[in-house]
Structure 1
Amino acid sequence: MKLAVIPARGGSKRIPRKNIRPFHGKPIIGWSIEAALASGRFDRVIVSTDDAEIAEVAKGFGAEVPFMRPADLSNDVAPTGVVVQHAVQWHQQSGMAIDHCCCLYATAPFVTPELIADGFDRLVGSEADFAVSVTSFPFPIQRACRIRDGRLQMIDPSAYLTRSQDLDERFHDAGQFYWGRAQAWTELRPILGEATLPVIVPRHRVQDIDTQEDWERAELLFGALARQEM
């Protein structure tokens, strides 16, 4: 079985009720559920939540909520990997064999069915543990600085005279989806590392949403993309 797990706890602090807050005409979690269903890669799309309202919204978009997430996995320090591990093991203990599982964030309105499908296809065609959405940094991180005692300090002074085009491109987690083999999830293997394949997402389709400023930027970017695609 190929399983999609969308973690969506009810106690978000920086943006209250973030997972079901309206975003361009629907609760934001609806975009993730619809993308998962449209990808054609899942036998089951579930939402792992501790919140009854989120559960009802999720069901309204076609996801299943086969269990309510335990309280010890619903605080703001519970790692995502442990939440997905719980979902995989719950299915296994219920007699369902899970081969692959994808963790898809509830606040990922820019994710597309095609990217999700591409991640799965890359994973099954390899010996990797995971296939993860990543995007490139917009500026060479080798030129990063910190501020110490009010003054700039290069973290890597050796890169000072190197041309930008001669510096290696670097990538970071796009915060959209994480395909993995069931055993990799249950063993809590590292998601970012040599056993992981990258699924590169264009920078204009990536926006982390943790603060109100992030949310407003995401709405503007989403609207611009929607107008472009009309």
Structure 2
Amino acid sequence: MSSSEQTSADAVDPITVVIPARAGSERVPQKNTKPFAEIPGGLLQLKLQQLALVEEIDKIIVSSNDPLVLSVTEDFAKTTGGSRFIPLERPDELGRSSTPMSQFINYVATLENHGTMCMTHVTHPLLRAEYFRELIRAWREAASAGHDSLLTVTKLQTFLWDENGPYNYDPSQERWPRSQDIKPLYEINHGAYFIPFQRMREVGDRVGTTPKMYELPENAVLDIDWPEQFQLLEDMALARSHRGVSLL
């Protein structure tokens, strides 16, 4: 590597991934670590395996008040030689279901002085390593263009109603317009958030004032929140594995 290339590489802010994985899931007991798609450490182990393949990530912090989550993370780091993986015990008052997300976000902002935070969740099992590489490239391009943060979204360009009827199209103009002519809306899918730690402290949030919305395909950000979703995503993951399609 030339001296100019080394200087350029050194100038890149480090990426620290933060994975929230609190104890006490009420809808799916032990959701983070119960076996999933023949993976003994479950969704957590799968996410760690996916992130282990992303060389652009400098550090992966698993924040939890669940001893089992911390143990799985520690074992993974030992067995893979992965010094990047850090199990971090979360203060218990920040691990309750009643704790506002804003309090946890303020806590996360203090974990590193410099670099960029990427928050992601184990409950997106199909968000593979290739997507994180893509997102890191997208974040760096967005930062160069003046954005102070990036969040992943799902594009909604379909017929949406509220209690008063059609919400995102005017039926007086066309009763059933073509879906591609409807003004799109964007759903925050929580696949990933990128924001520098310093900026996070300034705004008190994981999204800044000039965010970049980055679209991900819907099938990449299918989320697990209920038992039925756990079973469905496990069936999909197993089907992919049995066809020889990597989950990583």
5 Å-filtered alignment, 1:182-193, equals 182-188=197-203, 191=206
In structure 2, the CA distance between the partners of 1:28 and 1:40, relative to structure 1 (3 Å rule), is same
1:82·1:188 contact (CA, 8 Å) conserved in 2?
A: no
Q: Which stretches in structure 2 are left out of the alignment for 5+ residues?
A: 1-13, 78-84
Identify the match of residue 137 of structure 2 among 121, 137, 141.
121
| TM-score under structure 2 length normalisation | 0.76
In structure 2, the CA distance between the partners of 1:88 and 1:192, relative to structure 1 (3 Å rule), is closer
Corresponding residue of 2:24: 11
Does residue 153 of structure 2 align to residue 134 of structure 1? yes
Cα distance in 1 for partners of 2:168, 2:155 equals 19
2:200·2:208 contact (CA, 8 Å) conserved in 1?
A: no
Corresponding residue of 1:95: none
| Worse-matched range after superposition: 191-200 or 100-109 | 191-200
- Tell me which amino acid in the other structure corresponds to 2:27: R
**Per-residue deviation at 1:47?**
0.5
Percent identity, please. 22
Cα distance in 2 for partners of 1:128, 1:178 equals 13
- Number of positions where the alignment pairs a residue of Structure 1 with one of Structure 2: 217
2:224·2:233 contact (CA, 8 Å) conserved in 1?
A: yes
In structure 2, the CA distance between the partners of 1:12 and 1:120, relative to structure 1 (3 Å rule), is same
Cα distance in 1 for partners of 2:89, 2:213 equals 32
Cα distance in 1 for partners of 2:25, 2:19 equals 15
Cα distance in 2 for partners of 1:176, 1:30 equals 17
SS of aligned partner of 1:72: helix
In structure 2, the CA distance between the partners of 1:79 and 1:228, relative to structure 1 (3 Å rule), is farther
**Per-residue deviation at 1:30?**
1.3
1:4·1:103 contact (CA, 8 Å) conserved in 2?
A: yes
| Worse-matched range after superposition: 194-203 or 17-26 | 194-203
**Cα-Cα RMSD:** 2.5
| Worse-matched range after superposition: 118-127 or 8-17 | 118-127
Cα distance in 2 for partners of 1:79, 1:224 equals 37
In structure 2, the CA distance between the partners of 1:88 and 1:50, relative to structure 1 (3 Å rule), is same
In structure 2, the CA distance between the partners of 1:39 and 1:157, relative to structure 1 (3 Å rule), is closer
In structure 2, the CA distance between the partners of 1:228 and 1:163, relative to structure 1 (3 Å rule), is farther
Corresponding residue of 2:11: none
**Per-residue deviation at 1:84?**
4.2
**Per-residue deviation at 1:12?**
1.0
| TM-score under structure 1 length normalisation | 0.82
- Encode CA deviations 1:14-55: one digit per residue, 9 max, x unaligned: 111111121112211112222222111222111000111110
| Worse-matched range after superposition: 5-14 or 207-216 | 207-216
In structure 2, the CA distance between the partners of 1:156 and 1:196, relative to structure 1 (3 Å rule), is closer
Cα distance in 1 for partners of 2:206, 2:214 equals 13
